[in-house]
Amino acid sequence: MPHAARRGARAVVVAAVACAALFSAGARAGEGDVARRVLDELSEADRARSARAAAEAEWERERRGIEALAASIEEALSQVRARAVEDRAKLASVREELAALEEAAPPRGELERVITEAVRDAGGYLDDVGRGLLPGIVPEAGARAASSPLSRLQDLVLRMQQAEAATRAWDVGIFEGERDGGTVAVKVLRCGAVAAWWRGLAGSEAGTAVWRDGALHLTDAAGAARTAIVEAFSIFEGNRVPAVVALPFDHAREEE
């Protein structure tokens, strides 16, 4: 075979081999792309399954929570219904008791008569006690005393409460009293309904005071007794430091 022919045949063979190599490389490259796409799609599907599983788990938790809340509400409602039944039963029992009391109660007129008599007797006793004490200890009857029997009873109870408080209280007031055959205005320090002392509005006169026969009788004190009374007034009015003071006692009051 001539040399030129042999060279041409070699070229053809080399070209064929090159084409085969290129075709084989292209086929392998195509298979690699397909494999990557398959792997990507599988990964995406796996992520989707994981997200779905997480969503289902979250929904399951919420469902259980809603069911638990519904059960709690139902239990609370059951308790409320049970208490409502008990309250209705108690209300019915109270109504029955009230009805029985109304049947057993005396007529309204009779009850008002009993209250009126009791208020009259107790009020008269309170007035008698008040006449033997300094004015203001037992308060006078209020405006309600002339209204209904129940209002008169309420007024009497209020007067008794005020009188009880006044008999335990210390107080200073200005009163007119009888002294040396005349009437003078003095300050009176009162220890409830037990004892009282007086001091002149001007000067250092002082002594014991006794309410008797509807008038305040003043007795002069001297020496240490007068000094103690003046000191007690100063302490009570806030003009001196508090201290223990022994005050004289009018035995004429104790003997009444």
d(CA 145, CA 14): 140
Specify the range with the lowest mean pLDDT, choosing from 153-157, 159-163, 217-221, 252-256: 252-256
Nearest to 181 by CA among 133, 220, 223: 220
The Cβ of residue 89 has, within 10 Å, a number of other Cβ atoms equal to: 10
- Percent with pLDDT over 90 in the chain: 9
The confidence score (pLDDT) of residue 143 equals: 58
d(CA 249, CA 208): 7
- Summary count for the chain: helices (H), strands (E): 5, 5
The confidence score (pLDDT) of residue 30 equals: 56
Res 252 pLDDT > 80: no
d(CA 250, CA 67): 85
d(CA 8, CA 11): 5
End-to-end CA gap in the chain: 175
The confidence score (pLDDT) of residue 250 equals: 67
Mean pLDDT, to the nearest integer, of 97-111? Answer: 76
The confidence score (pLDDT) of residue 171 equals: 85
| pTM across the whole model | 0.48
Confirm if 158 and 142 have CB atoms less than 8 A apart: yes
Segment of 9-18, 65-74, 127-136, 246-255 carrying the highest mean pLDDT = 65-74
pLDDT band at residue 197 using 50, 70 and 90 as cut-offs? very high
Res 185 pLDDT > 90: yes
Average pLDDT, the chain: 80
Confirm if 154 and 144 have CB atoms less than 8 A apart: yes
The confidence score (pLDDT) of residue 181 equals: 85
134 burial level (CB within 10 Å; 0-12, 13-18, 19+): buried
Res 205 pLDDT > 80: yes
- Percent with pLDDT over 70 in the chain: 82
Res 251 pLDDT > 70: no
> Cα angle at 176 between 170 and 181, to 5 degrees?
125
d(CA 161, CA 145): 16
The confidence score (pLDDT) of residue 125 equals: 87
